[in-house]
Amino acid sequence: SRTYDIVGVFRLAPVKRPDVFINVIAHVAQRHPELRAAIIGDGRMMSDLCKQTREKGLDGRLEFVGHQEDVPVWLSRSKTFLLTSDSEGVALSVMEALAAGTPVVASDVGDLADVVVNGGNGFLTPRRQVQGYAEKLSLLLDDPSLRALFAQHATISATAFSIEATTCRWHEILHSI
């Protein structure tokens, strides 16, 4: 059994939209009163975000756990992973979540569509769309069999980004020159 329903891993900075993350948690918590969520990461927005968490009535449901060395362990303890950034390249935290077998719900920004298979190992949603993130998370939380299927696909898709797979691709590219 996984400890957290939703976890996020990001720097507490405006571009990562932790305020949106908190709003999503508040929205999902309306349907899931026992919801447990965690944010892994530090940053200058901490005091404002703690205030927002209190104002949304999420004390005891949303934990700020700060910087953690064992992020993969935290990810493996969560049912879902949420990323609400306005901008990303290929987010390492998304690839770590997939490798941990944790389905991803993320903003459809940057290169995330290269790793998140919408409807396969997770869901992509337009950035800042609280309702969109919340619907996809609720879908995964309400349906353990769908979540298990996505988790299986997540683990499989993560192998495409392993060091071994990347080394092989570079080897092929260099030998084709």
Specify the CATH number for the domain of residue 29. Answer: 3.40.50.2000
SS3 56: coil
pLDDT digits (tens, 9 = 90+) for 127-138: 999 999 999 999
Residue 49 sits in which domain range?
A: 4-175
Q: Which residues, other chains included, contact 108 with Cβ-Cβ below 8 Å and sequence gap of 6+? A: 118, 124, 125, 126, 127
Q: For residue 59, how many other CB atoms are within 10 A of its CB?
A: 11
The reported pTM is 0.90
CA count, 13 A, side-chain hemisphere, 169: 8
Inter-CA distances, 131 with 5, 13, 46, 138, 170, Å: 17, 22, 24, 10, 40
Here the tokens at position 115 are 């790793």
pLDDT digits (tens, 9 = 90+) for 10-38: 999 999 999 999 999 999 999 999 999 99
Q: What pLDDT score does 14 carry?
A: 97
Question: What is the number of structural domains in the chain?
Answer: 1
Q: How far apart are CA 105 and CA 83, in angstroms?
A: 6
